[in-house]
Structure 1
Amino acid sequence: MNQASIQTSYRGVFPVAPTIFDDEGRLDLEGQKRCIDFMIDAGSNGLCILANFSEQFALSDDERNTLMHLVLEHVAGRVPVIVTTTHFSSHQCALRSRAAQDAGAAMVMIMPPYHGATIRVGERGIYEFYSKVSDAIDIPIMIQDAPVAGTALSAPFLARMARELANVSYFKVEVPQAAAKLRELIELGGDAIIGPWDGEEAITLMADLDAGATGAMTGGGYPDGIRLIVDAYAAGDAELAAAHYQRWLPLINYENRQGGLATPKALMKAGGVIKSDAVRHPLLPMHPATRAGLLTIARRLDPVVLRWGK
């Protein structure tokens, strides 16, 4: 039996927490705690930190450690927290993952090893990479199957790792035709697939739920809206879930196609959750016209984020 199959099965909405900076680009730790409190108050079933939408690629190792310990201590068990521990090196990824477990993480999320536009690893190396990390920890591993890694991970290969590697049991699938891949993964992996999850800001959420997704990892700006969709579907009311999805889809689409990772912070600043919505240079601030469009759409929905801090 896959070791993770005897552990807690995590389901629901686990948004990515943005990393909060001040206007000079320094970590804003008090703002980070307010961000986390808002996300929990808005209905997140759990959280993910240090992901790409957290600008993890712009953080130093010391900053990563500071944020990991700050968030896990501040959450204090209120919800489970997934820590992203992606690294090209098997050894370093295992060390990061063990440190996350020791600090209280419920799960680690890891992309396959990649570097730049051309340095990739074949299936044998990828299998050994996840095997070494799995051997180093006792908590589940979520494989992030995303285009940013530039690495093809076939459903049969993912299912094989789920069956053979003790802690590989969750899969965040956010590639083209995600629903078809999730469906194939579930068929091939059976009980070893503990958590087939949706990603990419929920732009394919309804199709992914229809395919069997049990979790959604979205942006952090409006977990209350995503909860409406996921909760209705989990309760067996697909029509109500679809109605909620149609209502929230303009905001989901705007985040996915216009605002990107700056979206949650722009919403949080507008609602008084945080003081600065700065992204770390060389990322550029959200254009005022993009911000105006975002807030126009959001105000029609009255999400918690726009009133939490007021």
Structure 2
Amino acid sequence: MANLNWSGIFPAMLTPFHEDGTLNFEMLSINIEAQLEAGIHGLIFAGSLGEASVLTTDEKFELLTYALKAVRGRVPVLLNLTENTTDDAIAFAKKAEQLGADGLMVLPPMRYRGDDREVVAYFRAVAQSTALPILVYNNPVDYATYISLDMFEELLEEPTIQAVKESTRDLTNITRLRNRFGDRLKILGGVDTIFLESLLLGADGVVGGLVDGFPKETFAIYDLAKKGEVAKAVEIYRWFMPLLELDIHPKLVQYIKLAASKVGLSTPYTRAPRLELIGEEKERINKIIDDALASRPKL
């Protein structure tokens, strides 16, 4: 079993499409290089922001294979696992390992909302099927499943379960997790609008959204926070906040793709049922992005 260094910035990578809806690997390559150049620490593919819900299983593995070639071992490459059945989840984990993934981010079972016992059994079955390190995604706001401390107590019996993407939006949970599990469970803040607060409370790192378009600014905030230069971090963070708020909306994919496309790091295209922004909403989101670009801090 490999151990990942679960510290630093792990972008939840966008999946760029051509206008006809096919995968745009050229643009993906541009974004990967921008992330690495900024100093990020790992990449997560085919997550919610990567439009997992509209990608085929084959496409997820295509993204993984392409990313592994492009990254060439410079940072860990993780694949997101989001399946409806335990059997499919196990098959997916085994295939990701076979293709060379460095780790998995695993969501609770989709569609069927399991009770605590069922959710624990699902995660443990996946963990027992692979040697890959696992990041458990705890996001009760968007996925209706809350993974409690008692559930983590059971999950951590599996050595491959090593980290949590903490998206409960309850900052006290970081301290509860740390008090209960010490360093056995690494904590990655999973909500853009509280990512600095998460780091200051002792999170090991962050899984970010707006980092897709703004890797250097995200890295600067992380770096300053780690060095204890909090006032400087806060200054950049305040500039960043209107953009970060794009991450906590049901249309985060459209919004963040639009932002990243304005800085040449994505295309704006999404797959249906997501549609292009129109009218007042389009104007409002464009204005938020354009205002931020006009006052972008000198790093």
Distance 1:159 1:234 in 2: 28
Q: 1:207 and 1:293, CA in 2 relative to 1: closer, same or farther beyond 3 A? A: closer
* Structure 1 residue 19 corresponds to structure 2 residue 19: no
1:259 Cα deviation from its structure 2 partner = 6.1
- 2:208 aligned residue (210, 215, 218): 218
SS of 1:181's equivalent in the other structure is helix
Partner AA of 2:108 in structure 1 = P
Q: 1:144 maps to what in 2?
A: 137
Q: 1:271 and 1:233, CA in 2 relative to 1: closer, same or farther beyond 3 A? A: closer
Q: 1:136 and 1:257, CA in 2 relative to 1: closer, same or farther beyond 3 A? A: closer
Q: 1:199 maps to what in 2?
A: 190
Q: Which of 233-242 and 276-285 deviates more? A: 233-242
Identity across matched positions, percent: 22
SS of 1:53's equivalent in the other structure is coil
Asked if structure 2 preserves the Cα contact closer than 8 Å seen for 1:156 and 1:185, the reply is: no
SS of 1:143's equivalent in the other structure is strand
Q: 1:132 and 1:110, CA in 2 relative to 1: closer, same or farther beyond 3 A? A: same
Partner AA of 1:277 in structure 2 = P
Distance 1:70 1:94 in 2: 22
Q: 1:86 and 1:303, CA in 2 relative to 1: closer, same or farther beyond 3 A? A: farther
Asked if structure 2 preserves the Cα contact closer than 8 Å seen for 1:13 and 1:217, the reply is: yes
- Please list every run of 5 or more consecutive structure 2 residues that lacks an aligned counterpart in the other structure: none
What is the total number of aligned residue pairs between the two structures? 292
Q: TM-score, normalising length from structure 1?
A: 0.86
Asked if structure 1 preserves the Cα contact closer than 8 Å seen for 2:77 and 2:103, the reply is: yes
- Counting only pairs closer than 5 Å after superposition, residues 213-252 of structure 1 correspond to structure 2 as 213-219=203-209, 220-252=212-244
Distance 1:56 1:8 in 2: 23
Deviations for 1:251-272, whole angstroms, at most 9, x for unmatched residues? Answer: 2124435962223422332233
Asked if structure 1 preserves the Cα contact closer than 8 Å seen for 2:84 and 2:109, the reply is: yes
- Counting only pairs closer than 5 Å after superposition, residues 1-310 of structure 1 correspond to structure 2 as 7-115=3-111, 119-146=112-139, 147-162=141-156, 164-177=157-170, 179-193=171-185, 195-200=186-191, 202-219=192-209, 220-257=212-249, 260-274=252-266, 276-287=267-278, 288-289=282-283, 290-301=285-296
Q: TM-score, normalising length from structure 2?
A: 0.89
Asked if structure 1 preserves the Cα contact closer than 8 Å seen for 2:243 and 2:288, the reply is: no
Distance 1:148 1:197 in 2: 17
Q: 1:273 and 1:209, CA in 2 relative to 1: closer, same or farther beyond 3 A? A: closer
Tell me how large the CA RMSD over aligned residues is: 2.2
Asked if structure 2 preserves the Cα contact closer than 8 Å seen for 1:174 and 1:198, the reply is: yes
1:59 Cα deviation from its structure 2 partner = 0.8
Partner AA of 1:152 in structure 2 = Y
Asked if structure 2 preserves the Cα contact closer than 8 Å seen for 1:134 and 1:141, the reply is: yes
SS of 1:51's equivalent in the other structure is coil
Deviations for 1:159-215, whole angstroms, at most 9, x for unmatched residues? Answer: 3312x11211100111231x111211111112321x201112x21113212322111
Deviations for 1:37-67, whole angstroms, at most 9, x for unmatched residues? Answer: 2222233221111000000100112211211
1:244 Cα deviation from its structure 2 partner = 2.8
- Please list every run of 5 or more consecutive structure 1 residues that lacks an aligned counterpart in the other structure: 305-310
Asked if structure 2 preserves the Cα contact closer than 8 Å seen for 1:13 and 1:223, the reply is: no
Asked if structure 1 preserves the Cα contact closer than 8 Å seen for 2:43 and 2:77, the reply is: yes
Distance 1:40 1:181 in 2: 30
